[in-house]
Amino acid sequence: MQLKTILNRVQKHQSFVYGPMRLVQGAQLAIEVEMRARANSRAKCSGCGCPAPGYDTLPARRFEFVPLWGIAMFFLYAMRRVDCTRCGIRVEMVPWATGKNQLTDTYSWFLARWARRLSWKEVAEVFHTSWEKVFRAVEMAVEWGRVHQKLSGIEAIGIDEIQWQRGHRYLTLVYQIDAGRRRLLWVGEDRKVKTLLRFFFWFGKERSAVLRFICSDMWKPYLKVVAKKAHEAIHVLDRFHIMSHLGKAVDEVRAVEARQLKDKGYEPVLKNTRWLLLKRPENLTEKQEPRLAELLRYNLRSVRAYLLKEDFQFFWDYISPYWAGQFLDRWCTRTMRSQLKPMKKVARMLRRHRPLLMNWFLAKGAISNAAVEGFNTKAKLTLRKGYGFRTYRAMEIALYHTLGALPEPKVIHRFC
Ligand SMILES: [Zn+2]
């Protein structure tokens, strides 16, 4: 059996055939495969895709293909130029590569698929290529996927923000969170009114009009834009965001109190208790459980804040909105009397946004509750894994690639 037989099986090209092949020993061992145009075929213009009369032939170029047994593989081809009646003198179109790309499309897809499982740096190492080439491959896959993705039938979206780099730089992420389908739809730099307006501009008026539910945080610019651009939809303040506000408030109480105790020379009971107070009790480790029980015996401000936070969890489990509302009001009253400033701040915020908070009960069942939280975790992980993303563009591409559930072209053979 010849290599040509395999190549023809996995990747046959119209109007082109595989010519002679050889093994060459340069800096690395490589297989070179000559590509030849079929004798009776006319070159196609890369501008419009139409056959056109020949003009001249350029020097041979190397196009990198999927490596075989760890041996780099290249297609060698001298591209023809055509004299197109529409586009003028243009280089011809070849079925295995796009534009000036040195990688064949198949190899780009190969690298991009691996980049879902490994970091870009690891992919580059494993396949003896550069980080830059892996990035270009992923970028190609994302661009193709975003053009070909279907955006119909989206009824629920979640808006989230995450911090990136050090300092206060934010990203706005918009997810589809319908019960049956979840994916990242859009990434934007910053978290201003302008940012979210850009999402709605991209999403379009017609699609925005059929949105039924929108989840977000109490962040004012988001509330403003949602009210303006999707007033038909029910705006929900979701569990994940509210609970993270409460978590932050508890943490603030704890940090201040720990410092005060230390200054007054008391026993450092609050040392290393941060996660005890932030985690849900059911998520504590075996070692943490008794430590929390011990801590709760103290009459501390941190403990009171913690108990208020945990008590609020009951809110989400109510079936009847009426009783949930009663619970909410009682909780807020109690918290306002707690003399815990950060907690009071959250209670005031909840009171102010009571109607949006109560919308949670209208949306029950229609949206996947844990979706926003799950995406938030995954997005942060993606950013952490790729700490090499120095540019916004690279980060944006990585997020779409891992969370966008983007489509891929149908192929005869999958290389990985
Ligand atoms: Zn043309």
For residue range 50-95, list pLDDT tens digits in order: 999 999 999 999 999 999 998 999 999 999 999 999 999 999 999 9
What one-character DSSP code corresponds to residue 283? Answer: G
What is the distance in A from the centroid of ligand 1 to the CA of 412?
29
- How far out from the chain centre does Cα 378 lie? 7
What is the distance in A from the centroid of ligand 1 to the CA of 62?
24
pTM, full prediction = 0.85
- Whole-number percent of the chain with pLDDT over 90: 68
* Phi-psi category of residue 167: left, alpha or beta, with phi > 0 → left and psi -120 to 50 → alpha: left
Q: Is the pLDDT of residue 407 over 80?
A: yes
The rounded mean pLDDT for the chain is: 91
Give the pLDDT band of residue 271 (cuts 50, 70, 90).
confident
What is the distance in A from the centroid of ligand 1 to the CA of 90?
7
Q: Is the pLDDT of residue 6 over 90?
A: yes
163-184 mean pLDDT: 87
Q: How far apart are CA 172 and CA 196, in angstroms?
A: 7
pLDDT of residue 248: 94
What's the Cα-to-Cα distance from 47 to each of 60, 136, 360, rounded to whole Å? 20, 22, 52
Place of tokens 């000036």: 100
C-alpha angle 339-358-336 in degrees, rounded to nearest 5:
10
Tokens of 298: 């103290």
Lowest mean pLDDT among 18-22, 115-119, 360-364: 360-364
Give the pLDDT band of residue 134 (cuts 50, 70, 90).
very high
What is the distance in A from the centroid of ligand 1 to the CA of 248?
60
Residues with CB under 5 A from ligand 1 (ion): 45, 47-48, 84, 86-87
Q: Is the pLDDT of residue 123 over 90?
A: yes
Q: Is the pLDDT of residue 272 over 90?
A: no
What is the distance in A from the centroid of ligand 1 to the CA of 215?
48
Give the pLDDT band of residue 332 (cuts 50, 70, 90).
very high
248-273 mean pLDDT: 88
What is the distance in A from the centroid of ligand 1 to the CA of 50?
6
pLDDT of residue 238: 84
Estimate the share of the chain in helix, then strand, then coil, as percent rounded to the nearest 5. 45, 20, 30
Lowest mean pLDDT among 121-125, 283-287, 363-367: 363-367
Tokens of 133: 């080439």
What is the distance in A from the centroid of ligand 1 to the CA of 51?
8
Place of tokens 């629920």: 156
What is the distance in A from the centroid of ligand 1 to the CA of 154?
38
Q: What is the DSSP string of 118-157?
A: S-HHHHHHHTT--HHHHHHHHHHHHHHHHHH---TT--EE
pLDDT of residue 192: 94
Alpha-carbon dihedral sign for residues 96, 98, 100, 105: negative
pLDDT of residue 384: 80
pLDDT of residue 280: 86
pLDDT of residue 48: 93
What is the distance in A from the centroid of ligand 1 to the CA of 296?
76
What is the distance in A from the centroid of ligand 1 to the CA of 13?
21
- Whole-number percent of the chain with pLDDT over 70: 98
261-279 mean pLDDT: 85
Q: How far apart are CA 229 and CA 234, in angstroms?
A: 12
Q: Is the pLDDT of residue 163 over 70?
A: yes
Q: What is the DSSP string of 325-345?
A: HHHHHHHHHHHHTS--HHHHH
Q: Is the pLDDT of residue 387 over 70?
A: no
What is the distance in A from the centroid of ligand 1 to the CA of 17?
23
